Chains A and B, each alone.
Chain A
Amino acid sequence: MSELYCVRLLVEGVDDCHVTIHVLTGNNVNSFRVKDCNGYSNVKDLFKAELKASDSARIGIIVDADGETGIGGPEPRWESLKHLLGECGYKDLPAEMPQEGLIAVGGEKPVGLWLMPDNTSMGMLEHFMAELVPEGDRLWDRACQSVNGIPEPDRRFKPQAKPKAEVHTWLAWQEEPGTPLGLAVKKKYFDPSAPTAQAFVNWVNRLLAVEVPE
């Protein structure tokens, strides 16, 4: 038997995993464990399994608001997650995703949901990271101009992935070029006290504050 962790956070991929860890620890939040589920559909499957786990008291789901770059555009992930939560006994869910992140009770354990970047915009982790670029950073503007300056026919990335191109271009020019996202948070290239990061940290703290039976 392992110890009881206060919250198990489920994320889609390795970048989400490391960013979550460093944003939270950089803000003095430590009672959590993150699991990289390797894909959105695994997040949903693992959620059901983690509800039954004995080593966590609460669960948080952190996924991109956008689905994979599909044919019709962004997938309605909020709807599919609401459905999942409903199946697992969480009732009275709001019609719209709350801006501060969702906290739901009624099922096996208290559950939280955060849709990257900020629960209201469509987007992904890299939109969230863009908000964490330090205020007034000149290299950020230059990176965005640089990406925008590429003529469309020459762009190899899909339009939905432009934020990734911008963020990784910016990272390529930092003190240690090519630092991965999570490590870049730890090294303070990104600012963990930025408002969007604070909103995320507050959501985790609110989830941690939900009472559970001893």
Chain B
Amino acid sequence: MSLLNGSTLHDFRVTNFKCFEDLNLTQLGQVNLVVGRNSVGKSSLLEALYAYRSEDPIDALDSIASLRGESWRPSSRGAAILSLFRTSPRPGSEMLLGPIDDPLRIRLRAFNRRKDEEGYWRYEPAPDSTPSDSLFGQLTTRVLRDASQGIELQFRGEILRRMILDSRYRLRKRTATIGMQGPEQQTECVFVGAGGLPVSILSSLWDLVALSASEDEVVELVRSVFPAVERISMIGRYEGTEATGERRAFVKAVGFSEPVPIQRIGDGVGRILGIAIALVNAKNLLLLDEFENGLHYSIHESVWRFIFEASLRLGVQVFVTTHSLDCIKAFSRVAARSDAVGSLIRLEEKGGKIRAVQVDEKTLEIAERNAVELR
């Protein structure tokens, strides 16, 4: 399933998701830098974009918690999604993610279940006007057994997916009117968290570009910052003759005949490798949380140049968060010289609501030349 034709987003809204009551972004660029105070929702915005662009938004929302390093017990996965609603969800509560006029709707609904003639449980949506308090508070035991909550994914009026939960938020049943996709499609959008890509994901993404022109691009970027790097490879770890299943990145370095673990090349090399691999793999969207982690300010500009150039050529829209002034400065310099359009988005809380202040490239340039505080 691709809900979209892969074109870049021009605008985006996030409604009732985590800290966002109703956030509207317009005139998005090819490369977008998101700034703002701690806890204002920068990472949450990335998560919303990630969910929207994923092959399976419900699954993506489900996995958002693990993107952040939170772990929910598998038995409470339903609760993980319910916790993403901004206000305590009740039947009829809805999250919207997507273009302002055409968003995905993720709706909480009440369902009644009954056995059909063949003895299978069937779930039917109950009217949203069921008691507004917890569905389970006032019902009798028998009714309790037959009632459920569920999450429904709607797009353009069509119901794409349902996830039915029991009274303890355990997953009871999942229905999909859309096909489930294989690992290829999982790279439609890539999320690089503040801590970098987990090695397992780094490895599998590396495998998808190994021995291709994209591999050369990745090595080129790493080499542009660390000239000692000649080649890169992912090599499995062995205990004696047994493969442990883990793989690590190694480098053929100038002057060394043995492979060197990539971390030995210098600070930030792992981060740069991660960003490069993610970008060449992402089909339509790259999300990067906390750009500056592990990167000295002197290499910000090289990394931005790579991102701008590759994003335009590969047709990947990029959203990056940062706290760093150096990062913003380098971004603004590179944006001014690049064909790809850059934009800066500041999230801020005003009057109890989170809103976006958006700055186009031209204004960004003036701001940087004149030390205007945009963070």
User: Interface on A for B, CB 8 Å cutoff?
Assistant: 1-2, 35, 37, 42, 45-46, 48-50, 52-55, 108, 213-214
List A contacts of B350 (CB < 8 A): 213-214
Which residues of A sit under 8 angstroms from B359, Cβ to Cβ? 49, 52
> What count of chain B residues pass the 8 Å CB interface test?
16
Q: A108, B373: Cβ atoms under 8 Å?
A: no
Counting residue pairs across A and B whose Cβ atoms lie within 8 Å, the total is 44
Contact in complex: A49, B366 (CB < 8 Å): yes
Contact, CB under 8 Å: B366 / A45: yes
Chain A to chain B contacts (Cβ below 8 Å), 21 pairs: A1-B37, A2-B373, A45-B366, A46-B366, A46-B370, A49-B367, A49-B370, A52-B357, A52-B359, A52-B363, A52-B372, A53-B367, A53-B373, A53-B374, A54-B346, A54-B348, A54-B357, A108-B357, A213-B350, A213-B351, A214-B350
Which residues of A have CB within 8 Å of B374? Answer: 52-54
Specify the chain A residue showing the minimal Cβ separation from B364. A49
Q: How far is the CA of A11 from the CA of B358 in the complex (A)?
A: 25
B375 beta carbon closer than 8 Å to chain A: yes
Given that A48-B366, A52-B359 are known contacts, is A214 also in contact with B351, CB under 8 Å in the complex? Answer: yes
Which secondary structure dominates where chain A touches chain B? loop
Give min CB distance, B66 to chain A, whole Å: 31
Residues of A within 8 A of B37 (CB): 1
B372→A50 contact, CB < 8 A:
yes
- The DSSP consensus for interface residues of chain B is mixed
B33–chain A nearest beta-carbon distance, Å: 13
A48 to B361, CA, bound (A): 12
CA–CA, A48 and B370, complex, Å: 12
Taking Cβ atoms with an 8 Å cutoff, the residues of B that contact A are 37, 346, 348, 350-351, 357-359, 363, 366-367, 370, 372-375
CA distance A46 to B369 in the complex (A): 10
Q: Which residues of B contact A214 (CB under 8 A)?
A: 350-351
| Complex partner residue of A49 from B348, B358, B372, B375, CB under 8 angstroms | B372
Contacts of B358 in A (CB 8 A): 52
Question: B353 — nearest CB in chain A belongs to which residue?
Answer: A213
Min CB–CB distance B23 → chain A (angstroms)? 16
A14 to chain B, nearest CB (A): 15
B372 CB contacts on chain A under 8 angstroms: 46, 49-50, 52-53
> In the complex, what's the smallest C-beta–C-beta distance from B367 to chain A, in angstroms?
4
Bound together, the chains give a CA A49 to CA B359 distance in angstroms of 8
> By the criterion CB–CB under 8 Å, are B351 and A49 in contact?
no
Q: Which of B37, B357, B359, B372: most chain A CB closer than 10 A?
A: B372
